[in-house]
Amino acid sequence: MSTSSDTVPNPSPETVPNPSSEAARNTTSESDVTATPVRGTRLTLSGASLGRPGAPALDEVDLDIAPGEILTVVGPSGCGKSTLLRTLAGLLPPLAGEITQDGQPLTGPSADRALVFQEDALLPWRSLRANVELPLAIRGVSRAERREQAQAWLERVGLGTQARQLPHRVSGGQRQRVQLARALAGRPRAVLMDEPFGALDAQTRAGMQDLLVEVLQGTGATVVFVTHDVDEALFLGDRVALLGAGGLVAVRDIPRPRDRGTRDDQARVALRRDVLTSLGT
């Protein structure tokens, strides 16, 4: 398998699928991955204790994550947020209880569930496009097809003209865009995000939040998004799960529409106060 796609010229704008165009919305081509939604998956924890033997981080967790929803997760440091994500990714087995995906036991990692970290984890010797191609190569997608799909995703996150750049030549926010494109290029049914914007400055972070909402539209994927930032959680989520010392404190619905202009809306202000109170802050 080639480790670089830089020997092939960039596709012209006319040949790159444009997911926002009418043609892209109507096509059923397998290559136009950004226009063909996957079916979101249901993730369910029933009486689950999570963590490492002898040191559980979360006890007796009951949580049902609906297909296609964005569930944000907030809580103080050390409360088990990352443990929850790694368990849902299949990297940590539950200590007790049951975790299922669409009613079937979740027993290990799967291409159906993509994990996105705060550190971008891009391979430094591969171009941006070649990094996005990785999950497609693992799936056995042909070289030409995966190039086309990777280029389409880079266009979707606003980096189509920088496809040949190496990761160290672009900013931290741009590397996170590439990581998002790489995660979604593999057509996962669930995307598990561990504070992916935590290291970004406020302006870049807000831009990445907007981009995430825009890019997720129409994908159908279920999203679990961990954050320390209550405002980020309330902007991105359809629901917010509050974790405290040892367990799940509560799950709250988030008012819609998702609009920064409604931040001072009475219902949203009341919810923010409720979340902060529940977290003891």
| Cis peptide preceding 67, ω within 30 of 0 | no
Q: Report yes or no on 230 lying in a domain.
A: yes
Question: Residue 90 half-sphere exposure, CB side, CA atoms within 13 Å?
Answer: 16
pLDDT at 35: 53
Q: Which two tokens stand for residue 118?
A: 């705060």
* 113, 189 Cβ separation under 8 angstroms: yes
pLDDT at 31: 43
pLDDT at 268: 82
Q: Report yes or no on 123 lying in a domain.
A: no
Reported pTM: 0.83
The Cα–Cα gap between 163 and 130 comes to 8
Q: Report yes or no on 102 lying in a domain.
A: yes
The Cα–Cα gap between 210 and 203 comes to 11
Per-residue pLDDT tens over the stretch 88-109: 999 999 999 999 999 999 989 9
Sign of the torsion formed by the C-alpha atoms of 52, 58, 60 and 63: negative
The Cα–Cα gap between 58 and 84 comes to 8
Q: Report yes or no on 179 lying in a domain.
A: no
SS3 38: coil
37 secondary structure, DSSP code: P
Q: Report yes or no on 198 lying in a domain.
A: no
Q: Which two tokens stand for residue 85?
A: 């994500």
pLDDT at 67: 94
Distance of CA 8 to the CA centre of its chain: 30
Question: Which residue in this structure is represented by tokens 């189509």?
Answer: 160
Domain extent at residue 65 = 39-112+220-281
Q: Report yes or no on 49 lying in a domain.
A: yes
The Cα–Cα gap between 50 and 47 comes to 10
Structural domains of the chain, count: 1
Low-confidence ranges of the chain (pLDDT < 70): 1-37, 281
Q: Report yes or no on 130 lying in a domain.
A: no
pLDDT at 216: 87
Task: Classify residue 7 by burial, with Cβ atoms within 10 Å: 0-12, 13-18, 19+.
Answer: exposed
- What is the CATH number for 86? 3.40.50.300
Q: Report yes or no on 138 lying in a domain.
A: no
